[in-house]
Amino acid sequence: MSKSPSYAALKAGLAAAAIASLAACGTSSSSGGSEAASSLGATEGSVSILAWPGYVEDGSNDPSVDWVSGFEDATGCSVTAKTYGTSDEAYQLMQSGGYDVVAASGDLTLRLIAADLVAPVNTDLLDNYAGIFDFLKNKDWNSVDGVSYGVPHGYGANLLMYSTDAVTPAPTSWDVVFDKASDYAGKVTAYDSPIYIADAAVYLMAHQPDLGITNPYALDQDQFDAAVALLKDQKANVGEYWSDYLKEIQAFESGDSVVGTTWQVIQNSITTGNTDVVLPEEGATGWSDTWMIASDATSPNCAYKWLDYIASPEVNAAATAYFGEAPSSQAACDFRDDCEAYHAGDADYASKIWYWTTPVSECLDGRTDVECVDYSEWTKAWQEIKG
Amino acid sequence: MTSPRVSAYLAPRRRLQLAGLLTAPVLWLGLVYVVALAALLVTAFWTVNELTGQVQIEWTTENVVEVLTEALYRTVTLRTLGIAVLVTVLDVLVAVPVAFFMAKIAGPRLRHLLVIAILAPLWASYLVKVYSWRALLSADGVIHWVLAPFGLDTPGYGIVGIVLTLSYLWLPYVIMPIYAGFDRVPDRLLEASADLGARGWSTLRSVVLPMIWPAVIAGSIFAFSLSLGDYITAGIVGGTTQMLGNLVYTNVGAANNLPLAAAISLIPIAIILVYLAAVRRTGALRSL
């Protein structure tokens, strides 16, 4: 019996399988905008949450830090949580699906909305929405055409962390990681995300005013090139970039990093006590986060319950205090004694932080005579900076 | 009963038998392996929506051209290649004496102990091993502590750290084939060589080395190809160093540009194909 017919059949079968699976994978088209829920049904028994580290604590990191158990007891929705290190990572995870709720910063929210990955939120269904600061509601980064896409959580600044034994006197300016970075060669650290280019832009705003930067997320080509050049100089002194916050904690504890950008929660987590944080005089980039519901959520009712629960003053106070950021409501300050330090409710102060925003080619600062560098170029430049 | 009837039905139908036997493994190899690879290669010629980052089927060679022309990819390719070659050479230099000792000098008891000792690390998670190297290389780590009295310091996180860690990780995969290769060299050949007046060095060069060469190449394939694709080690002990795998990772994770990531991943595939083609001539693939 000849071998060739069965071999040919086999090849044909393989080819058919290949075509079928190629057609099935890799692409998806976005359908029309999804609708917000008009009423709530029975809870589904579980909810899957994607959030920044420190946002969904069930006591496993620190037994005294637990607001998930209270939610589970009250609603019967068991919580599974996953943390992420950069907004880009979160975007990737949301694309892969499987999450009901996401805590997103301003450089992520609009991308999620544009890709139809999150649904509008009917804030009338949330008892605690009314108490939230007005200056956080229906902003560019959490609504589109007056339609709310989520519930504000908290806001804060990316701080400068330094090792108190290696960096003296205590720094007051970002120059320790830029112009004076060579004093700490090999021990400087920086946030490993294209959005960090904005930190360089904030520094240039104060130190090279002739560049005319008015918004670190609206950079024309010249301003962008200056920021990239600054970061390329910085790279020679950087020991490592961090996006995993545990990696930064460990690097500062062991002394591998002595100065660099950080979050308050990292300072709170360091047990060796040899570090301190400061909000430098140039100002800083920061974040204003929003709880959003996935458009393909399998547990939308539990998701609404979570949004309402996390916005309640007591829980919001606990979560934002643990992360080290200002809470979303005045009532939450009754449960915190450090609201002053974070300038909670001070709309003027909140406006001085440059909240993460996705850079687009239409300049965010209102300039129409030039085109700004968009985020895909930021991403490319970031890879080149790291070399 | 059904089963005799099935047998009777199948008996004269050889092709159906063959189909029944091969469907599952062919589907596995076809769908899981070949198609996944083909999908990857095809993706390199697609494009993404700038805002949403979703893959669009619009044929373009832009990604491949970008990978071939931009200086960033050239630099990172050369760096990755250098690291892979260095790791391979280091591993072979360590593995040959160890394998020789195991196969020719150690008694059976010691030999078994050594085999266990070399294979034992494979039971531990890759991440655990890389993180322990992070601790070792740290500014207040063991390496610093041991070297400080001699006026030296830990190499810290960087290319040296990557090379050390990868060499450690892949060493068992290099020792085992070379050990098997030495095992196949009959002792009497060494004795005959000595009887004919050859000293240790010329016996090694003219008798042993030609016989174990395919085994060395086989081991080098593991060290080389595994190093070429690694990115986790570079992320943990590499400091600011980027390897090709890191670029693929950032393009999937941060940049959300799957087509560009696929285009970058063509580089290591091309390198490995060239390497395997060269290796095939030595006959080493038969001794894997």
In this prediction, residue B284 carries a pLDDT of 65
How many residues can be counted in chain B?
A: 288
CA neighbor of B263 nearest in space, from B74, B77, B65: B65
Contact (CB<8Å) B255/A376: yes
Find all residues with CB under 8 Å of B163, minimum gap 6, and list them: B83, B86, B87, B90
pLDDT per position in chain A (387 positions), as tens?
344 444 444 444 444 444 444 433 333 333 345 677 788 888 899 999 999 998 999 988 888 889 999 999 999 999 999 999 888 889 889 988 899 999 999 889 988 988 889 999 999 999 999 999 888 888 888 888 889 999 999 888 899 999 999 998 999 999 999 999 999 999 999 999 999 999 999 999 999 999 999 999 999 999 999 999 999 999 999 999 998 888 899 999 999 999 999 988 888 888 888 999 998 888 899 988 999 999 999 999 999 999 999 999 999 999 998 888 889 998 998 888 888 777 777 776 666 688 888 888 888 888 889 999 988 889 889 999 998
Q: Which residues of B touch A256 (CB under 8 A)?
A: 138-139, 156-157
Q: From the CA of A200, how many Å to the nearest CA of chain B?
A: 18
Least Cα distance to B249 among B272, B278, B229, B267 occurs for B229
A361/B contact by beta carbon, under 8 A: no
Could B254 and A88 be called an inter-chain contact, meaning their C-beta atoms sit closer than 8 Å?
yes
Q: Which CATH number fits domain B69-287: 1.10.260.40, 2.60.260.20, 3.40.50.970, 1.10.3720.10?
A: 1.10.3720.10
Per-residue pLDDT tens digits of chain B, which is 288 residues long: 567 788 888 888 888 888 888 888 888 888 888 888 888 889 889 887 766 667 788 888 888 898 899 899 999 999 999 999 999 999 999 999 999 999 988 999 999 999 999 999 998 999 999 999 999 999 888 999 999 888 888 888 999 999 999 999 999 999 999 999 999 889 898 889 889 988 888 888 888 888 888 889 989 999 999 999 999 999 999 989 999 999 998 888 777 788 899 999 999 999 999 998 888 887 666 655
State how far the Cα of B188 lies from the Cα of A156, in Å rounded to an integer. Answer: 76
Q: Which residue of chain B has the CA closest to A26?
A: B55
The domain spans of chain B are 2-43, 69-287
Coil, helix or strand at residue B220 = helix
| Amino acid A16: pLDDT | 44
Q: Is the Cβ pair A380, B255 closer than 8 Å?
A: yes
Asked whether the beta carbons of A132 and A326 are under 8 A apart, the reply is: no
pLDDT of amino acid B245: 93
Mutation for testing the A interface, residue in B21, B51, B246 having most A CBs under 10 Å: B51
SS3 per residue for A101-167: EEEECHHHHHHHHHCCCEECCCHHHCCCHHHECHHHCCCCCCEECCEECCEEEEEEECEEEEECCCC
Integer angstrom CA distances of residue A262 from B102, B224, B274: 51, 37, 44
Between positions 45 and 64 of B, the ones with CB within 8 A of A are: 46, 50-57
- Exposed / middle / buried, residue A339 (Cβ in 10 Å: 0-12, 13-18, 19+): buried
**Distance to chain A for B58, nearest Cα, Å:** 11
Domain A159-283+358-386 fold is D-Maltodextrin-Binding Protein; domain 2 (3.40.190)
Q: Is the peptide bond before A169 cis (omega within 30 degrees of 0)?
A: yes
Q: Strand A259-262 relative to strand A151-157: parallel, antiparallel, unpaired?
A: unpaired
Closest CA to A168 of A179, A186, A183: A183
Going from the C-alpha of A4 to that of each of A10, A14, B26, B27, B29, the distances in angstroms are 10, 15, 17, 19, 20
In this structure, what DSSP letter does residue A220 have? Answer: B
Count of H-run helices and E-run strands, chain B: 15, 2
> Nearest-CA neighbor of A287 among A192, A154, A161?
A154
Q: Which of A247, A254, A259 is nearest to A189 (CA)?
A: A259
Instruction: Locate B278 and state its tokens.
Output: 């060269």
Measured in whole angstroms, the distance separating CA A355 from the mean position of its chain's CA atoms is 10
CATH class, range A46-155+287-345: alpha beta
Residue in the block written with tokens 């030495």? B182
Q: How many residues does chain A have?
A: 387
- Identify the closest residue of chain A to B251 by CA–CA distance: A379
- Chain B's closest residue to A250, CA to CA, is B135
pLDDT in tens, B78-113: 999 999 999 999 999 999 999 999 998 899 999 999
d(CA A60, CA A57): 7
The pair phi, psi for residue A241, each rounded to 5°, is -90, 150
H or E segment and range at residue A190:
strand A188-191
Contact A161, A265 (CB under 8 A): no
d(CA B180, CA B215): 8
Beta bridge partners of B55: B48
- Taking CA atoms, B137 is separated from A253, A332, B144, B238, B243, in Å, by 14, 44, 7, 11, 19
Where do the CATH 3.40.190.10 domains begin and end in chain A? 46-155+287-345, 159-283+358-386
Pairing of strands A259-262, A159-163: antiparallel
State the distance between the two ends of chain B, measured CA to CA, in whole angstroms.
47
Amino acid at A45: G
Number of Cβ atoms within 10 Å of the Cβ of A70: 15
